[in-house]
Amino acid sequence: MQAIVAVDESWGIGYNNNLLFSIPEDIRYFTDFTRHKVVVMGRRTLNSLPGSKPLKDRINIVMSNDKSFKTDSATVCFSVERLFYEIKDYNPNDVIVIGGQTVYEQLIDYCSAAHVTKVKKTGKADRFFPNIDLLENWKVKSVSEEKEYNNIKYAFYVYCNENTKQPDLTTEVS
């Protein structure tokens, strides 16, 4: 499993269920990286997408604590254990966690890599990604050159988790 996210200098990812920044190159990077893969998101992230519809050309899995939540256009999982059961037959590198905060917090230890667009600015955030710069097992693997869009500087980082937790994929969970 991998994660993809855009963060500000405080590791903020969103405010009021919206992204902090809209950078065309970052959106292209996200689209290209996740296309034809499995994306895992929370219910609020799904609701923040255009028309509250799942992403095209991807297998969409939505995690929710709300047992009454239903959607015909995505698989819904009410627990991490159920998610692990749902993804057991996919290549782990093709399972991409796309947010929000709670889903990232639940799954970051199971991610082998994180693709982080770091924006060199602080936005007004009420949702955050775990600051993996402070976690001993996460190391920077690569960094792009610094780029700029509308006076916003950013760079693409790839982190590797040197101690990825392995989920128990042997038990079916209802």
The 10s digit of each residue's pLDDT in 96-116 is 999 999 999 999 999 999 999
CB 17 within 8 A of CB 44: yes
Position 151 scores a pLDDT of 95
Mean pLDDT, range 124-133, rounded to an integer: 97
Confidence of residue 84 (pLDDT cuts 50, 70, 90): very high
Per DSSP, the three-state class of 155 is strand
pTM, rounded to two decimals: 0.95
Confidence of residue 173 (pLDDT cuts 50, 70, 90): low
Residue 169 has pLDDT above 80, yes or no: no
DSSP code string of 67-130: TT---TTSEEESSHHHHHHHHTTS-GGGEEEEE-HHHHHHHGGG-SEEEEEEESS----SEE--
**Mind listing the pLDDT tens digit for each residue in 137-152?**
999 999 999 999 999 9
Domain ranges of the chain: 2-161
CATH 3.90.76.10 fits 2-161, yes or no: no
Per DSSP, the three-state class of 145 is coil
**Mind listing the pLDDT tens digit for each residue in 20-70?**
999 999 999 999 999 999 999 999 999 999 888 999 999 999 999 999 998
Residue 174 has pLDDT above 90, yes or no: no
